[in-house]
Amino acid sequence: MSYADLRELQSALSTASDIAFSLEAAPSAHEAEQLGDALRRALAAAGALAAERGATGCAEHPRGAVDPLYGDKEDPLPPGFGRCLLCNDRRRRASAQRRHWR
C-alpha cells in the first residue's frame, strides 16, 4: 500500500460522500451517474490497497525476482533482508560501500 493509493481512496470516498449528501429525494440521471463513477473509483482504489504483493512480498517490486538465498539454511540472509532480490541487492551494495568508506 502506498500513500498515493490511500489518498486516492480517501479522495474518491469524499467525492462520493459529497455527491450522496447533496442529492435530493429523486436524483437526476446525471447525479446518479456521477455518484456511480465516484463509487467505482473508490472501489478500484480499495482494490489497489488490497492487491497482493506477489511472490517477493515487496510493495516496491511485487513482481520482482525472489532472492535465491532466501530460506537457505547454509548461507542465511542477514537480519532485515526479505525475499525481494532487488531490495536485497540494494542492501548488499550499500553495505559494501559502507565497509569500503571506513
Q: Whole domain around residue 10: which residue ranges?
A: 3-51
Residues 45 and 78 in one domain: no
Residues 68 and 39 in one domain: no
Residues 46 and 68 in one domain: no
Q: 61 near 87, Cβ under 8 Å?
A: yes
How many structural domains are present in the chain?
2
Q: What is the pTM of this model?
A: 0.50
List, for residues 49-60, the tens digit of each pLDDT value. Answer: 766 667 888 888
Q: 83 near 66, Cβ under 8 Å?
A: yes
Residues 64 and 93 in one domain: yes
Q: 61 near 82, Cβ under 8 Å?
A: no
The identity of residue 1, as a single letter, is M
List, for residues 29-55, the tens digit of each pLDDT value. Answer: 998 999 999 999 999 888 877 666 678
